[in-house]
Amino acid sequence: MIRLDGKLVAESLREGLKLRTESFKSKMGRAPQLTVVLVGENKASQVYVKNKHLACQKVGISSQIIEKPESLQQGEFEELLEKLNRDESVDGVLVQLPVPRQLKSDRVFELLSPAKDADGLTYASTGLLWSGKPLVKPCTPSGVIEILKHYKIPMAGKNAVVIGRSQIVGKPMAALLLDENATVTVCHSGTRDIRSYTSQADIVVVAAGKPRLFGREDFKKDSVIVDVGMHGTGGGKLCGDVRYEELEGWAQAATPVPGGVGPMTIAMLLENTVYLAERKLKGN
């Protein structure tokens, strides 16, 4: 079984991004800038933001973190988004989710300019994606596509199943697989007998959100399985939605957790930021 190593693919992408950030800096006199908005004291979000900040530094992207208190009100939140839309020194913006309850996260998707949408999740970005003319692509699904391409796994003409229909992974994943000419089925919590779909699929992308839910018996022999899940098991260990150890000798290829899709999510955030900066440089 081929181990689809997201760390390896992410590293190869970062090497190219370093060259692009240096080129941008030589022309603009500054590095591409990503601004991350962090509201509240969510510990997991703080860790994610720190990791993104460090990843930016490694490729030469300027990373600004705007921290706001848990008590931030809707009007102040929206004013901040509008300010970032107008700031010419900011190339990409990411609002770390979740935000506190009193804030309407939907307003992020409505108000943030698609020209600065480093996560590719605004409603405008989603519309462009489904129209086949994406400006930037959501980070996790585009990372999955990059892994499959890196390992030369064909998607055209293949039967692909996506498990999950979230705005962040499931729906855009289906759109990107369609763009690669796969035949796509989306399964979710309302799907009866999911195994009847996964057991016939050539490619399965699992974003069910439940630890170790799927195993060898759920997949066709020699299929390709991409596990987007990430769960803590205690003792500092992580697992995905799939029982990876059962796939050896059965699957053609699969992503491990950790070390599979996770590193690619951040790599694609960097890619999106640099692309948006280059696009601005060209006057688009």
Say if 268 falls within a structural domain: no
| One domain, residues 147 and 90 | no
What is the domain range of residue 82? 29-113
The answer to whether residue 211 is domain-embedded is yes
Number of domains in the chain: 2
Q: Is the model's pTM score more than 0.85?
A: yes
65 assigned to some structural domain = yes
User: Quick check: 56 and 91 in contact, CB under 8 A?
Assistant: no
Distance CA 173, CA 161 (A): 10
Q: Determine the pLDDT at residue 13.
A: 96
CA distance 203 to 151: 13
Q: Flag residues of the chain having pLDDT under 70.
A: 284
Task: Supply the pLDDT for residue 282.
Answer: 83
Write the pLDDT tens digit of every residue in 105-133. 899 999 999 999 999 999 999 999 999 99
Q: What is the CATH number of the domain that holds 192?
A: 3.40.50.720
Active site residues: 52, 96, 119
Q: In this predicted structure, what is the pLDDT of residue 248?
A: 97
Q: Is residue 64 part of a domain?
A: yes
Q: Please tell me the predicted confidence (pLDDT) of residue 284.
A: 66
* 186 & 237 share domain: yes
The predicted structure's pLDDT at residue 255: 98
CATH of residue 58: 3.40.50.10860
Render pLDDT for 217-257 as a digit per residue (tens, 0 to 9): 999 999 999 999 999 877 778 899 999 999 999 999 999 99
Q: If you compute the radius of gyration of the chain from its CA atoms, what whole number of angstroms results?
A: 19
